[in-house]
C-alpha cells in the first residue's frame, strides 16, 4: 500500500506540469505505478497523493480535526471565497449542516430528471466529429444541474458567464505558469 517513490518532477515546478496536462490520467498513473501514497511537489509546496479508500476516510472523516488546509488552499480561498470545499473547522461544520438536506437520498433521486434534461440539452448542440474541451462543458453542465436542484443560488447561476470567464483565465494562467 505505502510508497515513498514518486515520478521525477520538473526541476522547478515539480509534478505540476504533468498533473496539469491530464489531471485524471496523471492520478490514475500515480495509483497504478506508485501505489496508494505518493509524495508530490507543486512548485515549493509538498503534498501526498492518497488513493487508499480507508486512508481517505480516516483523513476526511475520522481525523478531519487533526488536519488543516494547506497554504495553497488558504490562498485559493482568498480568490474563490470560504465555501464548503475551502473552509474548515466549526465554520465548515455549520456550512455542511446547512447543505446536508440538499444531499438527502430522496433529494438526490429527484435531481435525476434535471441531470438528464440538462445533459440532453448540452448534447443536442454537439455534432459528430466536433472537438471539445470537456472541462468547461462539464463545469457549465454542473452549474446548470446544481442551479436547478437549488444547491446553488439563482444569483450565482445568473453570473455563470463571469464565473466561467474567471475560472478560464485562472486555468490558463496556471497552465502557462506550470509550462515554463
Q: Look-up: residue for cell 472541462?
A: 135
Distance CA 157, CA 57 (A): 32
Q: Distance (Å, rounded) from C-alpha 45 to C-alpha 130? A: 38
The Cα 52–Cα 60 span in angstroms is 12
What are the structural domain ranges in the chain?
Answer: 1-67, 104-180
pLDDT at residue 80 greater than cutoff 50: yes
What DSSP assignment string belongs to 77-101?
A: HHHH-S-TTT--HHHHHHHHHHHGG
pTM over 0.85: no
What digits encode the pLDDT tens for the residues 99-158?
888 778 887 787 888 888 889 999 999 999 999 988 888 988 888 887 776 554 444 445
Amino acid at each position: 500500500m505505502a510508497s515513498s517513490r514518486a515520478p521525477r518532477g520538473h526541476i522547478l515546478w515539480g509534478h505540476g506540469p504533468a498533473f496539469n496536462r491530464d489531471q485524471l490520467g496523471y492520478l490514475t498513473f500515480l495509483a497504478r505505478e506508485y501505489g496508494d501514497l505518493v509524495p508530490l511537489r507543486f512548485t515549493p509546496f509538498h503534498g501526498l497523493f492518497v488513493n487508499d479508500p480507508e486512508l481517505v476516510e480516516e483523513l476526511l472523516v475520522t481525523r478531519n480535526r487533526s488536519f488543516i488546509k494547506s497554504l495553497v488552499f488558504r490562498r485559493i480561498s482568498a480568490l474563490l471565497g470560504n465555501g464548503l470545499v475551502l473552509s474548515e473547522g466549526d465554520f465548515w461544520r455549520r456550512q455542511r449542516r446547512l447543505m446536508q438536506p440538499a444531499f438527502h437520498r430522496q433529494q438526490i433521486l429527484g435531481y435525476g430528471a434535471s441531470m438528464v434534461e440538462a445533459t440532453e440539452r448540452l448534447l443536442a448542440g454537439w455534432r459528430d466529429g466536433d472537438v471539445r474541451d470537456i472541462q468547461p462543458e462539464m463545469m457549465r453542465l454542473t452549474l446548470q444541474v446544481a442551479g436547478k436542484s437549488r444547491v446553488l443560488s439563482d444569483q450565482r447561476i445568473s453570473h455563470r458567464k463571469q464565473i466561467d470567464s474567471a475560472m478560464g483565465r485562472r486555468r490558463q494562467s496556471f497552465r502557462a505558469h506550470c509550462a515554463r
